[in-house]
Structure 1
């Protein structure tokens, strides 16, 4: 499998390092190791979703219960979750940490992924959701910490885009 186990572990450790104890996710190729790590971790609650928008409600409930959470999704899932993000997180000022696999960019081999990749950043910008790319393992921990700090202090959604260079093994 071309998805990097080592870099997935770096991302997972950083997620736990910022105090996240609940993760919501759907199965997705680039997230396979992160979802498995959450599932196998007795200190983490993994909520498996039927559709991404449900994760917004899960994160809202976690916030009101005093539990830090994160949503894992691919960019098509982010686009599917817009109604919940706008109608819950933005409207009611609920922090939302989103880790979005950045499909559809340079090197993408699956043609059905390309459209979502074209529209993810413009939609994040249109919604005024702060976002950063994660491309190297050494930037994961500091950027994830800053993203969680911003989500909590601004009571708003933030997004980290998990780039191919981070999530795939060399040559993948």
Structure 2
């Protein structure tokens, strides 16, 4: 796996906008950097820069209550850091969260500190009953958001 290319990021970003996403929250993120930049440069998109990923849950919850569709951008380690907010806010009050999570720590990962989080990401999502799917091989189109 490697960082999302500019072209793939554009496909994803355009699909998010077409689905009505108007707010994104993110930390500086190396694999999703192009998506963050696109949101930052788009006057029609609100980009909320976070100090830690769990804040994104509160931002997305508030956006939902205000009628604004949002997306959280993070690495899978950010998912690990967000569990309390996901469970005690979003799941408890049935607030939808769209999380775009870069999957770090697979076999061949260049950064060894990423491997532990990568080893538990799927099991964690299943344990929390969070449906997920992968954006896999480049097909030149986005199937669903």
For 1:59-70, list aligned pairs within 5 A: 59-70=60-71
What is the TM-score when the length of structure 2 is the normalising length?
0.94
How far, CA to CA, are the matches of 2:63 and 2:8 in structure 1?
A: 26
Q: Does 1:138 align with 2:134?
A: no
What is the TM-score when the length of structure 1 is the normalising length?
0.80
Match of 1:112 in 2: 113
Deviation track 1:114-154 (CA, whole Å, cap 9, x = no partner) reads 1111111100000111011111343862232xxxxxxxxxx
Considering fraction of residues, name the structure with more helix: 1
**Consecutive unaligned residues in structure 2, runs of 5 or more:** none
**Consecutive unaligned residues in structure 1, runs of 5 or more:** 145-172
Q: CA RMSD in A?
A: 1.6
Match of 1:101 in 2: 102
How far, CA to CA, are the matches of 2:76 and 2:128 in structure 1?
A: 15
How far, CA to CA, are the matches of 1:107 and 1:135 in structure 2?
A: 17
Q: State the aligned residue count.
A: 144
Judge conservation of contact 1:134–1:140 (CA < 8 Å) in 2: no
Judge conservation of contact 1:39–1:46 (CA < 8 Å) in 2: yes
For 1:1-172, list aligned pairs within 5 A: 3-138=4-139, 141-144=142-145
Deviation beyond 6 Å, 4+ runs, structure 1? none
- 1:38 Cα deviation from its structure 2 partner: 0.2
SS of the equivalent of 2:104 reads: coil
How far, CA to CA, are the matches of 1:130 and 1:2 in structure 2?
A: 23
Higher relative contact order (CA 8 A, sep 6+): 1
Deviation track 1:19-52 (CA, whole Å, cap 9, x = no partner) reads 0000000011001111000000000000000000
